[in-house]
Amino acid sequence: MRVLLAASEATPFAKTGGLADVASGLSKALAAIGHEVTLVLPHYRQVIKPGLIGELVGKVTIPVGEKRVEAEIRSTTLPGSTVRVLLIDQPDYFDRAGLYVEKGHDYTDNAERFIFFSRAVLEAARQLDLQPDVIHANDWQTGIIPAMLASEYRLQPWFQKTASVFTIHNMAFQGRYPWWEYKLSGLRWELFNWRQLEFYGELNLLKAGIAMSEIVTTVSPTYAREICRPEFGYGLDPALQTRGDALIGILNGVDTTEWNSAIDPALPLRYTVDTVREGKAACKAALQREMGLPVKPEAMVLGLVSRLTDQKGLGLIASRAADMFRADVQFVCLGSGEARYETWLQELKTQFPNKVGATIGFNEGLAHRIEAGSDAFLMPSQFEPCGLNQMYSLAYGTPPIVSNVGGLADSVVDCSPESIGNGTGNGFKFSQFTADAFLNCVWRAVGVFQHDKAAWNRLIRNGMTRDWSWARSAAEYVKVYNNARSRVK
Ligand code: ADP
Ligand code: GLC
């Protein structure tokens, strides 16, 4: 099958979060089972890294409202795969310090940038004669592609049989803009109605993808059910409900060429499930040193790598950190995000210098060393469409402590005598999103870590031996693509 995957970020070209890992991990896995995959990305300033610069293969002129905007198409390959990557090079839109945000503020022309990008994806496909069977768009940035395909491009011979699949990675980001921005899309006004692209008088790009694609997927089965309810749907739960069996949840995978403790170049000692004891001990000591903490094997290191936002449960951690430190635990945190949480972290480090190691910023290598060197990983999210870090933790022998939502619910099996006995238990879960429930869950984990090493080792083994690879999820996407194609007349 010929699959064109459009995304606003992909590892190693440009990344702010899990979408980047998914775009490249899924593309590689689809290519590995014989599909012809083209990944289309904006050519951001970050892309200009050795080995990633593409060769010029075409030029497009894109109508954006009244303007005609020119762009170059560059072609390269996703490292370690046969996936072709097309980069849409338009410096006015993409040669900037950030992807979507700079100094805490969204770019004011984000609607224009991504409406442009969406149309450029379709124009590039036409110009290079890709004739995709499926266009797979992701999140609000490419949400208008299914609308452009259904209402305009499918009338053209190149796209007559092309189906669209739209994946939601996070309902909290919808791409909502004033109605007049809709004019930038060049689409007919009839589509600007409450069933399709309009949402309380505004343009909603996520809704466009939900309403106009053949199949909507999201990144875990539990999140697929949750977003049909008002608590998780952010106003779009009715739109999702109407999609019925065209809304499908598929759990993300782990890219085992990037996240694999046996070959990870970022680690001081690599390890497998058979050498995990020595491997983690070495990684833990090195991490404690790197983060300026006392090197104490008996202290339980709790790791966190995250965008610092309410979504990730930072509020719960902030309100119970001092309680956590009554036990012999250390907290190692890497993240960036909301200023109030960055300030809080710095203050916490000053207050508990022997307990807290914190780095504010984005650091790929350190993210890997925290996954490997921590004893347990904190992910008490308020909502979590899938979450990749808990899966990386599981694969690295670091039992996660998580809230029971979304992809966390689908990947973490709570520690209990039964789940330890039957070989499934791999972490700790709490159900009520309260600070006390979170703290109790941490205490349970501390108790097992300190007093029941046999059970702890079983948790590690259970996490490390389950198959988290993309191969399983890619097979499910292929079914979805076929399902979508059967819906195009
Ligand atoms: P989300 O996409 O909601 O942020 P995920 O768990 O799906 O959450 O993915 C987050 C990805 O971003 C992971 O690969 C994680 O390691 C990475 N990440 C998050 N914050 C940082 C950071 N400060 N430095 C390096 N990597 C980070
Ligand atoms: C989003 C979600 C996260 C998910 C990622 C990749 O950023 O917040 O849960 O893992 O997308 O699908």
pTM: predicted TM-score of the whole model, two decimal places: 0.96
Domain assignment present for residue 349? The answer is: yes
Q: Are residues 325 and 215 in the same domain?
A: no
Kindly state if the Cβ of 171 falls inside 6 Å of ligand 2.
Answer: no
Q: Are residues 377 and 396 in the same domain?
A: yes
User: What is the CATH number for 39?
Assistant: 3.40.50.2000
Q: Give the integer Cα–Cα distance in Å for 91 and 79.
A: 24
Domain assignment present for residue 263? The answer is: no
Strand partners, 247: 216
Q: What is the pLDDT of residue 10?
A: 96
| Shortest-distance atom of ligand 2 to CA 169 | 11
Per-residue pLDDT for 350 more than 80? Answer: yes
Mutate to test the pocket of ligand 1, among 389, 393, 410 (most ligand atoms within 8 A of CB): 389
Domain assignment present for residue 260? The answer is: no
Q: What is the pLDDT of residue 129?
A: 95
pLDDT, one tens digit per residue, over 180-228 is 999 999 999 999 999 999 999 999 999 999 999 999 999 999 999 999 9
pLDDT, one tens digit per residue, over 65-85 is 999 999 999 999 999 999 999
- As a whole-number percent, the residues of the chain with pLDDT over 90 amount to 97
Q: Are residues 347 and 477 in the same domain?
A: no
Kindly state if the Cβ of 4 falls inside 6 Å of ligand 1.
Answer: no
| Shortest-distance atom of ligand 2 to CA 223 | 9
CA-nearest residue, atom 9 of ligand 1:
18
Please tell me the distance between residue 181's alpha carbon and the centre of ligand 1 in angstroms.
Answer: 31
Kindly state if the Cβ of 384 falls inside 6 Å of ligand 1.
Answer: no
Band (pLDDT 50/70/90 cuts) for residue 54 is confident
Q: How confident is the model over 445-470, as a mean pLDDT? A: 96
Which residues, at least 6 apart from 463, have a Cβ–Cβ distance to it below 8 Å? 393, 394, 395, 397, 398, 399, 426, 427
Q: Per the structure, how many domains does the chain have?
A: 2
> 5 with 136: CB under 8 angstroms?
yes
| Shortest-distance atom of ligand 1 to CA 252 | 7
Which residues, at least 6 apart from 157, have a Cβ–Cβ distance to it below 8 Å? none
Q: Are residues 184 and 286 in the same domain?
A: no
Q: How confident is the model over 234-256, as a mean pLDDT? A: 97
pLDDT, one tens digit per residue, over 146-190 is 999 999 999 998 899 999 999 999 999 999 999 999 999 999 999
pLDDT, one tens digit per residue, over 359-394 is 999 999 999 999 999 999 999 999 999 999 999 999
Domain assignment present for residue 259? The answer is: no
Domain assignment present for residue 92? The answer is: yes
Domain enclosing residue 189, as ranges? 2-253+471-486
Q: Are residues 149 and 216 in the same domain?
A: yes
The phi-psi region of residue 80 (left if phi > 0; otherwise alpha if psi is between -120 and 50; otherwise beta) is left
Mutate to test the pocket of ligand 1, among 21, 141, 260, 264 (most ligand atoms within 8 A of CB): 21
Q: What is the pLDDT of residue 49?
A: 72
Please tell me the distance between residue 22's alpha carbon and the centre of ligand 2 in angstroms.
Answer: 8
Kindly state if the Cβ of 362 falls inside 6 Å of ligand 1.
Answer: yes
Q: How confident is the model over 399-423, as a mean pLDDT? A: 97
Q: How confident is the model over 236-254, as a mean pLDDT? A: 98
Q: Are residues 443 and 476 in the same domain?
A: no
Please tell me the distance between residue 107's alpha carbon and the centre of ligand 1 in angstroms.
Answer: 21
Q: Is there a cis peptide before residue 12, judged by omega within 30 degrees of 0?
A: yes
Q: Are residues 443 and 351 in the same domain?
A: yes
Q: What is the pLDDT of residue 52?
A: 72
Q: What is the pLDDT of residue 50?
A: 66
Average pLDDT score, the chain: 97
Q: Are residues 350 and 476 in the same domain?
A: no
Q: How confident is the model over 324-340, as a mean pLDDT? A: 96
Domain assignment present for residue 173? The answer is: yes
| Shortest-distance atom of ligand 1 to CA 364 | 25
The residue among 64, 57, 52 whose CA lies nearest residue 93 is: 64
Q: How confident is the model over 51-64, as a mean pLDDT? A: 91
